[in-house]
Amino acid sequence: MIQFKKYIALVFFSICFSINAQNTYKNWPDVIRKNDASWFGTEEAKKIAENVLLYQRNIGGWPKNIQMQNALSETEKQKLVDLKSDLHDITTDNGATCQEMLFMSRMYAQVKDERYKESFLKGLNYLLEAQYDNGGWPQFFPLKKGYYTHITYNDNSMVNILVILKEIGEETDFYSIKPSKEIVEKAKKAFDKGIDCILKTQYKQNGVLTGWCAQHDEFTLAPANARAFELASLSGFESAKIVLLLMSIEKPSPEIITSIKSVNIWFEKTKITNLEEKRVLNDAGKIIDKKMIPTANAAPIWARFMDLETNEPFFCDRDGIRKKSLDQIGSERRNGYSWYSDAPKEVLKKYPAWAVKNGVKVSSAEASDKKKTNFITVAQDGSGDFTKIQDAIYASPAFPYEKVTVFVKNGIYNEKVRIPECNTNLALVGESKENTIITFDDNFSKINLGRNSTFYTYTLMVEGDDFSASNLTIKNTSGEKGQAIALSVVANRVKISNCNILGNQDTLYLSGKNAKQYFTDCYIEGTTDFIFGGATALFENCTIHSIKSSYVTAASTPEGTAFGFVFKNCKLTAEPSATAVYLGRPWRIYAKTVYINCEMGRHIKPEGWENWSKPDAEKNAFYAEYNCKGEGFQPAKRVAWSHQLTKKEAEKYTTENILKDSVPNWFSK
């Protein structure tokens, strides 16, 4: 379920509720997905919860596209009370009902208001009642005439429901509300029926399984039309989330395995690598035109609509007439609808590891694809291609045209690993973050190579550009013995996701000429200057943990560099004994470090920053914060030479601006 929980990544605001404050939230889903659980115990959250309760109908579901956080007048509240028994427009489309249930669960985790529990359970009962006998769900329930009665995969409606039922049926802790054993059993059965429906609706093309349509007829299970421009077809977008759900099932049946293998082959067959979408925006940032530009070796995309027999992409305007290219339909539909998607790339990325985990034997054709995509397995028990990670690196091709994936099965790998400059475009993927561990114990004194010994202490060294690592723990185990790097990155376009990076002093070194590096959903811990170096690095949704009172960062940003270290939506935590931690100090006088929307624990010193006995740094370094929170965020007490960004200044700190490179959007691949 990891891939379905990632989208619950959340942002915390500790401000008091008012009508004006409510209106600062542009979208209702932004409220649900706030980062710190404690926000859901605030008065602001409670007032929003009253709105959510009002919008819920007696049958248990909610209407869609409602900005629940907006203040309601007394007249509006009374109208909602009068609508409680109304059975129209209740749906799971556009995330409705599923997202409100999540909100109520997060509320109940902080405030044991029985109304929240009752609301969640009513929503769950609504989902169970809405299911067809064949396992599918309509777009609206009670049924609304028209295409709304079709089994609806569109915009992941049915997948969202099944994710909830999976969590309930497996009795995980994801939801704070625990249904009765009877409801748990119903959820299990409903989930199994839903999966059976998915398997039965997978479309066969000349007897070969492919993907799914956005809608399927509720009686025949055949692909079905929806709106005039949504003709029956195979969907690259909807099929991706369906198969990711199937891949999340432990001990899949032979039928599920066949389904996953088949759609993986279909995705490979239907990917488009010679087109890129170009969007033309007006001054307000609104899309005014979309064009598909022929591009050699473009990142793969898939059409939202593909012919059921030929897989050929097609496009429709509101007249329902099929066209062969996007430029043949009017601007309203061309610019107002998503005609292409890169969602299937996540399936192709995860499939090799899933196949290894589930012992899937590949056909000769698939084996050829595996060789072509350069997939190497490391396993200590001898079941892979190599037993050591470094041996797999040595066996990887130099400067490959396609990504090389080194999949590392669970185990403690006590080795020093180096990704040389020639090993570009390499992905190091662990079986699990908790149990795939790369560890070594070098430190400054042990290396003993002079004043620069620090840079030889790494456990993992990355020198090859376009590197990625995920689902790993990278650890330097030397302890309190001076400088000792766990991860050293001296390459460009490096992405580290869902990893633990553990050490003490100098845990994480980031460098490289004009290098851009991206860390997301990582846990990083250390003591002194445990994130240091001169690269431009963005940290998003990471936990930064101080083991003792010292310094978090020591940037050495080169003069004239636009961005240094940027932390967005991160959480700064510490051991109880660490009570006096600085946000950073300048290793070099042009250091740049910025914290945006971060939660800072009480261990952060009020003054925030230290000049490392370098008066020139106070004139040249750039240390700043914006919209942070927590006991450690004390802007009035910060050193005078640091900055609190304005909203306009903070707006330039987008992922695109920080990580801009000659390879566009590399960080999202």
- Average pLDDT on 345-349 reads 90
In a domain, 243, yes or no: yes
In a domain, 85, yes or no: yes
Q: How many domains does the chain have?
A: 4
pLDDT tens figures, 590-619? 999 999 999 999 999 999 999 999 999 999
In a domain, 216, yes or no: no
- Are both 384 and 308 inside the same structural domain? no
- Average pLDDT on 546-566 reads 97
Q: Residue 512: which pLDDT band, with cuts at 50, 70 and 90?
A: very high
In a domain, 59, yes or no: yes
pLDDT tens figures, 391-422? 899 888 888 878 899 999 999 999 999 999 99
Q: How far apart are CA 207 and CA 407, in angstroms?
A: 33
Q: How far apart are CA 54 and CA 40, in angstroms?
A: 18
Q: Residue 2: which pLDDT band, with cuts at 50, 70 and 90?
A: very low
- Are both 557 and 643 inside the same structural domain? yes
Centre a 10 Å sphere on the Cβ of residue 218 and count the other Cβ atoms it contains. Answer: 19
- Are both 360 and 387 inside the same structural domain? no
Mean pLDDT of the chain: 91
Active-site residue among 217, 442, 466, 529?
Answer: 529
pLDDT tens figures, 461-497? 999 999 999 999 999 999 999 999 999 999 999 999 9
pLDDT tens figures, 313-331? 999 999 999 998 888 988 8
Tokens of 427: 């992905």
Find out whether 597 and 627 touch, Cβ atoms under 8 Å.
Answer: yes
What is residue 361's predicted lDDT score, i.e. its pLDDT? 65
Find out whether 265 and 366 touch, Cβ atoms under 8 Å.
Answer: yes
- Are both 287 and 427 inside the same structural domain? no
In a domain, 520, yes or no: no
What is residue 382's predicted lDDT score, i.e. its pLDDT? 85
Q: Residue 577, CB half-sphere, CA atoms under 13 Å: how many?
A: 3
- Are both 387 and 414 inside the same structural domain? yes
What is residue 3's predicted lDDT score, i.e. its pLDDT? 40
Tokens of 492: 């460009």
Q: Residue 460: which pLDDT band, with cuts at 50, 70 and 90?
A: very high
- Are both 629 and 657 inside the same structural domain? yes
Tokens of 248: 């999340």
Tokens 């935590």 -> residue: 573
Active site residue 155: no
What is residue 9's predicted lDDT score, i.e. its pLDDT? 33
Lowest mean pLDDT among 69-83, 276-290, 536-550: 276-290
Name the E strands within 201-314.
Answer: 204-205, 208-209, 215-216, 275-281, 287-294, 302-303
> 469: domain CATH number?
2.160.20.10
- Written as one string, the DSSP assignment of 629-664 is BSTT--GGGS-TTSEE--HHHHTT--HHHHT--SST
In a domain, 169, yes or no: yes
- Are both 386 and 330 inside the same structural domain? no
* Better-scored residue on pLDDT, 667 or 25: 667
Lowest mean pLDDT among 57-71, 243-257, 287-301, 551-565: 287-301
- Average pLDDT on 612-631 reads 96
- Are both 548 and 666 inside the same structural domain? yes
Neighbour-count burial for 423-452, b at 16+ CB within 10 Å, e otherwise: bbbbbbbbbbbeebbbbbbbbbeebeeeee
Tell me the backbone φ, ψ of residue 451, rounded to 5 degrees: -65, -20
Radius of gyration for the chain, computed over Cα atoms and rounded to the nearest angstrom: 26
Which H helix or E strand runs over 238? helix 236-247
Active-site residue among 93, 155, 217, 506?
Answer: 506
- Average pLDDT on 262-287 reads 85
> Does pLDDT of 368 surpass 80?
no
Last residue of a domain, one of 346, 367, 388: 367
Q: Residue 334: which pLDDT band, with cuts at 50, 70 and 90?
A: confident
Q: Residue 356: which pLDDT band, with cuts at 50, 70 and 90?
A: confident
Active site residue 283: no
Give the percent of the chain with pLDDT over 70: 94
Rounded to the nearest 10°, the torsion over CA 23, 27, 31, 36 is -110
Last residue of a domain, one of 147, 165, 200: 200
> Does pLDDT of 372 surpass 60?
no
- Are both 475 and 550 inside the same structural domain? no
Q: Residue 2, CB half-sphere, CA atoms under 13 Å: how many?
A: 11
Q: How far apart are CA 215 and CA 157, in angstroms?
A: 10
Residue 84: give the domain boundaries.
1-200
Helices (H), 40-170: 43-55, 74-82, 98-110, 114-130, 157-169
Query: What are all long-range contacts of 220-228, with beta carbons under 8 Å and residues at least 24 apart?
Result: 221/134, 221/151, 221/197, 223/308, 224/147, 224/150, 225/147, 226/147, 226/150, 226/154, 227/147, 228/316, 228/318, 228/319, 228/320
Tell me the backbone φ, ψ of residue 100, rounded to 5 degrees: -65, -35
> Considering Cα of 412, then 414, then 416, then 419, what sign does the dihedral take?
negative
Q: How far apart are CA 325 and CA 363, in angstroms?
A: 35
In a domain, 218, yes or no: no
What is residue 21's predicted lDDT score, i.e. its pLDDT? 36
Q: How far apart are CA 486 and CA 481, in angstroms?
A: 13
**CA distances for 262 relative to 153, 216, 273, 441, 662, angstroms:** 19, 19, 21, 45, 36
Q: How far apart are CA 478 and CA 36, in angstroms?
A: 33
In a domain, 498, yes or no: no
What is residue 338's predicted lDDT score, i.e. its pLDDT? 87
**Which of helix, strand or coil describes residue 224?**
coil
- Are both 339 and 448 inside the same structural domain? no
Centre a 10 Å sphere on the Cβ of residue 592 and count the other Cβ atoms it contains. Answer: 23
Q: Residue 6: which pLDDT band, with cuts at 50, 70 and 90?
A: very low
> Does pLDDT of 585 surpass 80?
yes
**CA distances for 9 relative to 55, 406, 460, angstroms:** 25, 27, 28
Find out whether 91 and 99 touch, Cβ atoms under 8 Å.
Answer: no
Lowest mean pLDDT among 20-29, 267-276, 286-295: 20-29
What is residue 13's predicted lDDT score, i.e. its pLDDT? 26
Which of 489, 504, 582 lies closest to 539, judged by CA?
489
> 70: domain CATH number?
1.50.10.20
What is residue 363's predicted lDDT score, i.e. its pLDDT? 53
Beta-carbon contacts of residue 643 (< 8 Å; ≥ 6 apart) = 622, 623, 624, 625
What is residue 357's predicted lDDT score, i.e. its pLDDT? 86
Q: Residue 661: which pLDDT band, with cuts at 50, 70 and 90?
A: very high
Last residue of a domain, one of 334, 367, 400: 367
Beta-carbon contacts of residue 337 (< 8 Å; ≥ 6 apart) = 229, 304
What is residue 399's predicted lDDT score, i.e. its pLDDT? 86
Give the percent of the chain with pLDDT over 90: 77
- Are both 179 and 268 inside the same structural domain? no
233: burial class by Cβ within 10 Å (0-12, 13-18, 19+)? buried
Beta-carbon contacts of residue 271 (< 8 Å; ≥ 6 apart) = 300, 301, 302, 344
**CA distances for 460 relative to 108, 198, 338, angstroms:** 43, 42, 40
- Average pLDDT on 495-508 reads 97
Q: Residue 469, CB half-sphere, CA atoms under 13 Å: how many?
A: 27
pLDDT tens figures, 90-124? 999 999 999 999 999 999 999 999 999 999 999 99
- Are both 228 and 162 inside the same structural domain? no
- Written as one string, the DSSP assignment of 317-360 is -TT--EESSGGGS-HHHHHSS--EE-THHHHHHHHHHHHHHTTP
Tokens 């892979």 -> residue: 384
> Does pLDDT of 229 surpass 90?
no
What is residue 10's predicted lDDT score, i.e. its pLDDT? 31
Query: What are all long-range contacts of 37-40, with beta carbons under 8 Å and residues at least 24 apart?
Result: 37/106, 37/109, 37/110, 38/12, 38/110, 39/12, 39/13, 39/14, 40/106, 40/107, 40/109, 40/110, 40/111
> Does pLDDT of 8 surpass 80?
no
